[in-house]
Amino acid sequence: MISPWPAANGARPDPSEAAARRRWAVRSLDLAAVRLSTRPPRLPVDTRVLGTPPGEALLTAGVNAGPLVPGSRGLGTTSASLLGSTSARTAAVADFPLTLVRPPESHPGEPAPDGPVLLTLDAGHGHNSLAAAVRRPPRVRRAGRLLTEVLTPWRQKIPEVRVEEVCLEDVPACAVPTAGGHAALVALGHRVASGDTPRLGAVAHAAVRRATSPVLSVPYG
């Protein structure tokens, strides 16, 4: 667990304020570590306070994490504040996997810890034939056959994992959060964003906003 303590806006507090912020960061990490250490599976927790801006700290830490889980404390008024502006920006530009977890108070539902893992496949990335099939009737039947072809090598590689195929004829940003309503985890891909105001893609953004379960986002492209 890490906590970057300099201000995200680059402001430089006076020494006494900086010391108080660092003490707050240390205390917050210590309390979180105690809570996690008493819950199953009771894994060891290492904590560090990093003296770098939050965005830089998260991107640096994420390189060696598997995956990074950014905080969900957002204080803004936009939809991105469900994650917090720093975490949302990090999620958009990260070239490593990260898990996005909404704060419990932001949604009425509860994740299903014993539920399935929902793996979503982007029909438009890496599977041109699948994308073409989705655009032509009968779309669902053809997409289903191609989905089977995509998953067959993984079934052979990990036969002990039961896989159920479902093709949904709907807008992805609507279908994924709905399908993930009873999942323990929603796994999807995201394009690594660029530019001055990088943002999460529509599907990942919708999943974070509406899914009650954690969202594992894996970069591609």
For residue range 145-186, what is the model confidence (pLDDT) as tens digits?
888 888 888 889 988 888 888 877 778 888 888 888 778 888
Confidence (pLDDT) at 130: 40
Confidence of residue 76 (pLDDT cuts 50, 70, 90): very low
Mean pLDDT, rounded, for 82-92 = 76
Three-state SS for the chain is CEEECCCCCCCCCCHHHHHHHHHHHHHHHHHHHHHHHCCCCCCCCCCEEECCCHHHHHHHHHHCCCCECCCCCCCCCCHHHHCCHHHHHHHHHCCCCEEECCCHHHCCCCCCCCCCEEECCCCCCCCHHHHHHHHCCCHHHHHHHHHHHHHHHHHHHCCCCCCCCCCCCCCHHHHHHHHHHHCCEEEEEEECCCCCCCCCCHHHHHHHHHCCCCEEEEEEC
Contacting residues for 201 by C-beta, under 8 A, at least 6 apart: 190, 191, 193
Cα(116)–Cα(164) distance, integer angstroms: 10
8 Å CB contact between 49 and 5 = yes
Q: What is the pLDDT of residue 81?
A: 45
Q: Which residues contact 59 (CB under 8 A, 6 or more apart)?
A: 90, 93, 94
What is the model's pTM? 0.71
Q: How far apart are CA 203 and CA 45, in angstroms?
A: 32
pLDDT at res. 4? 72
**81 or 115: whose pLDDT is higher?**
115
13-43 pLDDT per residue, tens: 677 887 888 888 888 889 988 888 888 778 8
pLDDT at 67 over 80: no
Whether the CB-CB separation of 12 and 5 falls below 8 Å is answered with no
Give the number of other Cβ atoms within 10 Å of residue 212's Cβ.
19
Name the percent of the chain lying above pLDDT 90. Answer: 0
